[in-house]
Amino acid sequence: MLETIKNSPNYRWFVLATVAVGTFMSTLDSSIVNVALPTISREFQSDLSTIQWVVSAYLLTITSLLPVFGRIADMFGRKKVFALGFIIFTLGSVLCGFAQNIWFLVGTRVLQAVGASMLMSNSAAIITAIFPPKERGRALGLTGTVVALGSLTGPALGGIIIGISSWRSIFFINIPIGIIGYIAVLLILPKDVPNEHKESFDVTGAFTFTFGMIGVLLGITNGEAWGWSSPPVLLSLVLGITSLVWFIITERRVQHPMIDLSLFRNRPFFIGNLAGGLSFVAMFSNVILLPFYLQGILHYEPSQVGLILMVFPLVMAFVAPLSGHASDKFGPMILTTSGLVITALGLFYFTTLTTTSSFIQILPGPILSGLGAGMFQSPNNSSVMSSVSPQKLSIAGGINSLVRNLGMVTGIALAVSLFDVWGGVTLPQPGQIEGFMSAYHSVMFVAMGIALVAAVVSYNRKSYAKAS
């Protein structure tokens, strides 16, 4: 059976399917806990500024470690790192499920994220190595769709699972998937080819980047809770920015840099990543707050919340392949720009929701958002990956993942900070409901503005080169 798969003319698609399992699982867990946050908040008696760390610690860890594990895999073997990623991720999931307090849960989410970063940092590289140039764009576009679907399916699937069982089940469900994924890696992925070039590991670059990202994101995430002018926040931001500046200086000098910064001189690559990052900031501003509206204001059960949130990824899953196919014929600019405008309209629609909105009245919001994201993601990923030379596809894929996760973390931090500033309370009492709605609507207006800025950015990508 194994030899049949490896000798099959479709072997590369089996590899893609194996990679997709790890990619989907790791991105799914970036958001699957969102719908469980109100339940976890009540059980552990935690406020929003504390409970958001269940999501933010996961994304922050991945964002900080993506280029590190990508470089390690290039040097020591992608299959080894990918397989180890499944083991660590599954172990972290088990420990998350047994958490008895909020900070143990946050710590085990960090362990989960270490495994997830091993998976996510290598997906594009494995696909690039197995697919011929004429099929790489399609394969990487499909991977990008899997990433977006994983990120956006999380809350919906989480709501359904919690409705059937408890919030702990959203972590335990990873165990069989992780075991199957690990076995598939051992059986299907091609053996690592020893690296004949004796390349050095950029220790300084790895440290300055990781320290810098943690410092900046720590400051942004806790700015509202600790006070933007407080010494811990200012120190985090100053040290983080200083470390990132030093990282950029270092990368320009070393022979084997952690990240090839010259890629950002490529206009379609830069514009595509900037527009993509802004789109995730806008989307995740709503992803973190919508479950609190549905449960805290409308008093929906988690399973009902899951059904509403499932609309977004279902619409996106239907639209994304059509949009990706259309972009091969007509280019990405019109599709990506139109998609971001529709995303902005979806976010605007959420500002019209009230304390008595019905199930049917809510649906246009996730439908518009899913349509916009589906139109944007595949063409944008194809544009980004097609704008670089074949030998830089792995690096480009890593940067694309990095920017996406940075957008998610920033979107969550921005939404939480603004929501608190404008007087929102996550689990409002009767006298606090109007304050919640006012703060929620205000955050959605900001998210809409970010999506429109992303549309303007996307419209300016202009040139588009297809991979040869």
Residue 465: per-residue pLDDT:
46
| Phi, psi at 388, each rounded to 5° | -115, 160
pLDDT tens per residue across span 294-340: 988 888 887 788 788 878 888 887 888 788 778 777 778 889 999 99
Q: Is 52:105 a contact under the CB 8 Å cutoff? A: no
Burial readout 250-275 (b: 16 or more C-beta within 10 A, e: otherwise): bbeeeeebbbeeebeebebbbbbbbb
pLDDT band at residue 182 using 50, 70 and 90 as cut-offs: very high
Q: How many CB atoms lie within 10 A of CB 376?
A: 33
Q: What is the pTM of this model?
A: 0.78
pLDDT tens column, 371-421: 999 899 878 877 887 777 765 666 677 787 788 878 887 888 888 888 888
CB 259 within 8 A of CB 207: no
Structure tokens at 263: 């890629």
How confident is the model over 195-202, as a mean pLDDT?
66
Whether residue 251 is predicted with pLDDT greater than 90 in this model: the reply is: no
DSSP H/E element including 398: helix 393-421
Higher per-residue pLDDT: 387 or 277: 277
Is the distance from CB of 126 to CB of 193 less than 8 angstroms? no
Please report the pLDDT score of residue 448 as a whole number.
97
Spatial separation of the C-alpha atoms in residues 424 and 409, rounded to whole Å: 20
The closest alpha carbon to 204, from 244, 261, 262, 260, belongs to 244
Q: Give the pLDDT score at 467.
A: 41
Residue 468 clears pLDDT 50, i.e. is over it: no
Residue 46 backbone dihedrals phi, psi, to 5 degrees: -115, 145
CA terminus-to-terminus distance, the chain: 34
Say yes or no to pLDDT of 200 above 50.
Answer: yes
Which 3 state secondary structure label does DSSP give 193? coil
Ranked by mean pLDDT, the top range of 81-90, 219-228, 388-397, 457-466 is 81-90
Contact at 8 Å (CB) between 363 and 350?
A: no
Q: What is the pLDDT of residues 140-173, one digit of tens each?
A: 667 767 876 777 677 778 878 887 888 899 999 8
Name which of 127, 117, 123 is nearest 67 in CA terms: 117
Measured distance CA(433)–CA(381) in Å, rounded:
40
Looking at residues 103-129, what average pLDDT do you find? 88
Is residue 126 within 8 A of residue 19, CB to CB? The reply is: yes
* DSSP count for the chain of H helices, then E strands: 20, 0
- State the average pLDDT over residues 430-446: 90
pLDDT at 199 exceeding the cut of 70: no
User: How far is residue 219 from each of residues 104, 186, 351, 424, 445, measured CA to CA in Å?
Assistant: 21, 40, 28, 21, 24
